[in-house]
């Protein structure tokens, strides 16, 4: 039976009531949640006429950006229906730019080459490249053949650069003038070219396109229209080449608070500009990838992939963890010949040892990875950063080792633990064992990211899977060796 409109409203009201009584959420999150529920209810109806009517009503009530985020949580077959019912090309462009890759793929597979061409003609070249990433190469060539030649050339120019570089972040549509152009002439040209976005800086180049300086957009308003741009020009202090990494771009913009970043070639010829919006997109991508690497998965959190694909993206590091667990079993088995007496009792502290040392190691590696990602660690201060983290880990290990030893001694002394052995001996063995394990995990957490960075692998992978997988083996080995050594002194 189809769901009636009255029942739909009742369900949505119930959801909203549940949200209001549950966890606190922002207005944006609440809107997204309600919109997703509306769309899900509409697509669950069985009568196609009713579905289209409801979808049109929902689309007219919400912005294309909100619909773009909500559509990513719908079944792939439903996503093109949202796009199809958007009222104009501007909304369709906003939808495609703000949704995820899987939704774009579903929509682009549904629409014709001609419609893709029409959309690209109204987009900036860098936005067009972002859209065209989600279509096969053969179809890309077909679209380029029917696209206006100038626009196609600009798209190809950006697409030739490697992913995650300044060349991919930049747009090659910008305003640039020679020094002798007057303020009123520049303003008139900008006014007559509405298809190119006006950034907060207008660049000054010579006849060969070599970058000379820039003029803040505000100066076109506050200065006399008869002044040449040379008189209001400022020097360009920060710029990057097209092959610079996106991390370098983010670091420069964040450090120097630059609103627009010039992109030049090897001869200092201006080839593009990077705006704050481009940098924000890069920051979001870097954050997603870093979090995924730290969790030990290649899964993209923003996409709703098939279950098997999500599983396979998580499996590699889980296999590493499985192997590390089997090694841990071997470590414990190798100490079986020492079984009996006090060593049997200290075995019960293995979860405490691995848990404490693991947390300290992950804290050290996470702090280092973050510092490396935002450019706080360089060649000159790397040694200082390493020593600080080692000192912090050693201090934490020593402090909590002493605290643990005293606690174990006190519990054994009053008879709560009931080990039957000398309380001092048990406390010393567990306390010093925890110190050693924490110091070993600190070294692992500090040097793992640096090692991976040296061999060209993203150091974020060391913050989670590597430290977690190897810490148990390392900390248990240290703990057992210390316990065995001390037991020979006490007994």
pLDDT, tens digit, 9 for 90 and up, residues 129-142: 988 888 888 999 99
Cα torsion through 459, 289, 255, 442, rounded to 10: -30
Which residue is associated with the tokens 């079986």? Answer: 336
Q: Is the pLDDT of residue 124 over 80?
A: yes
Region label for 415, one of left (φ > 0), alpha (ψ between -120 and 50) or beta (otherwise):
left
Per DSSP, the three-state class of 424 is: helix
For residues 276 and 253, give the distance between their C-alpha atoms in angstroms, rounded to a whole number: 8
CA geometry: angle 458, 464, 469, nearest 5 deg = 110
- Span 13-21, average pLDDT: 46
For the domain made up of 5-162, give the CATH fold: MgtE N-terminal fold (1.25.60)
- Residue ranges, comma separated, of all CATH 1.10.357.20 domains in the chain are 307-490
The pair of structure tokens assigned to 381 is 């201060």
Per-residue pLDDT of 376-416, as tens digits, reads 777 777 888 888 888 988 898 889 889 988 887 787 655 55
The predicted pLDDT at position 181 comes to 94
CATH of domain 176-295: 3.10.580.10
SS3 234: strand
Tell me, rounded to whole angstroms, the distance of Cα 375 from its chain centroid: 16
Q: Residue 212: what pLDDT? A: 95
Taking the C-alpha atoms of residue 405 and residue 488, their distance in angstroms, rounded to an integer, is: 18
Is the confidence at residue 340, as pLDDT, over 60?
no
The average pLDDT across 179-199 equals 89
109 versus 375: the higher-pLDDT residue is 109
Q: Count Cα neighbours of 263 within 13 Å in the Cβ-side half-sphere.
A: 25
Which distant-in-sequence residues (6+ apart) come within 8 Å of 93 by Cβ?
Answer: 119, 122, 123, 127
Q: Measure CA 373 to chain center.
A: 11
269 phi, psi to nearest 5 deg: -80, 130
- For CATH 3.10.580.10, list the domain ranges present in the chain: 176-295
Q: From edge to edge, which strands make up the β-sheet containing 260-264?
A: 239-241, 260-264, 270-275
307-490: what CATH class?
mainly alpha
Q: What integer is the mean pLDDT of 181-199? A: 88
CATH 1.25.60.10 domain extents, the chain: 5-162
As given in the structure block, the two tokens for residue 123 are 């987009």
Taking the alpha carbons at both ends of the chain, their separation in whole angstroms is 78
pLDDT exceeds 50 at position 244 = yes
Taking the C-alpha atoms of residue 28 and residue 24, their distance in angstroms, rounded to an integer, is: 12
What is the reported pLDDT for 335?
A: 65
- State the pLDDT at residue 9: 46
Quickly list H helices, 121-245: 125-132, 137-146, 149-159, 166-169, 183-191, 219-222
Distance of alpha carbon 332 from the chain centroid: 38
Report pLDDT digits (tens) over 31-80: 667 777 777 777 766 555 556 777 888 888 888 888 888 888 787 788 88
pLDDT, position 2: 39
User: 199: how many CB neighbours lie within 10 A of its CB?
Assistant: 20
């Amino acid at each position: 039976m189809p769901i009636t409109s009255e029942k739909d409203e009742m369900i949505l009201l119930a959801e909203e009531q549940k949200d209001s009584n549950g966890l606190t959420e922002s207005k944006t999150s609440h809107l997204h949640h309600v919109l997703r529920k509306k769309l899900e209810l509409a697509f669950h109806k069985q009568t196609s006429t009713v579905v289209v009517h409801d979808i049109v009503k929902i689309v007219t009530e919400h912005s294309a950006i909100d619909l773009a985020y909500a559509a990513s949580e719908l079944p792939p077959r439903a996503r093109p229906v949202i796009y199809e019912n958007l009222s104009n090309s501007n909304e369709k462009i906003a939808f495609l730019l703000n949704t995820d890759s899987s939704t774009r793929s579903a929509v682009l597979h549904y629409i014709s080459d001609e419609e893709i061409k029409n959309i690209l003609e109204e987009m900036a070249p860098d936005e067009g490249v972002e859209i065209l990433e989600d279509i096969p190469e053969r179809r890309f060539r077909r679209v380029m053949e029917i696209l206006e030649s100038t626009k196609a050339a600009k798209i190809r120019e950006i697409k030739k650069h490697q992913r995650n570089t300044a060349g991919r972040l930049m747009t090659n549509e910008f305003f640039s003038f020679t020094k002798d152009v007057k303020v009123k002439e520049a303003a008139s040209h900008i006014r007559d070219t509405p298809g190119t976005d006006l950034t907060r800086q207008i660049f000054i180049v010579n006849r060969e396109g070599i970058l000379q300086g820039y003029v803040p957009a505000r100066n076109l308003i506050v200065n006399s229209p008869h002044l040449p741009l040379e008189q209001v020009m400022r020097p360009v202090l920060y710029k990057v080449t097209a092959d610079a990494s996106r991390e370098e771009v983010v670091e420069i913009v964040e450090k120097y608070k630059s609103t627009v970043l010039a992109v030049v070639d090897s001869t200092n010829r201006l080839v593009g500009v990077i705006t704050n919006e481009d940098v924000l997109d890069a920051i979001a991508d870097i954050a997603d990838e870093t979090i995924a690497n730290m969790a030990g998965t290649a899964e993209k959190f923003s996409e709703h992939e098939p279950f098997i694909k999500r599983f396979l993206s998580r499996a590699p590091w889980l296999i590493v963890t499985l192997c590390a667990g089997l090694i841990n079993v071997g470590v414990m088995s190798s100490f079986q010949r020492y079984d009996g007496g006090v060593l049997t009792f200290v075995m019960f502290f293995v979860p405490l040892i691995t848990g404490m040392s693991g947390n300290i190691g992950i804290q050290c590696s996470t702090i280092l990875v973050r510092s490396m990602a935002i450019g706080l660690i360089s060649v000159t201060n790397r040694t200082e950063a390493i020593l600080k983290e080692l000192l912090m880990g050693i201090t934490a290990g020593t402090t909590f080792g002493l605290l643990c030893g005293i606690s174990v001694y006190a519990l054994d002394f009053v008879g709560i633990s009931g080990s039957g052995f000398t309380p001092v001996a048990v406390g010393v063995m567990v306390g010093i064992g925890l110190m050693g394990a924490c110091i070993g995990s600190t070294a692992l957490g500090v040097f793992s990211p640096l090692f991976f960075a040296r061999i060209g692998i993203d150091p974020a992978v060391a913050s989670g899977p590597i430290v977690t997988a190897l810490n148990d083996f390392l900390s248990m080995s240290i703990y057992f060796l210390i316990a065995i050594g001390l037991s020979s002194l006490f007994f």
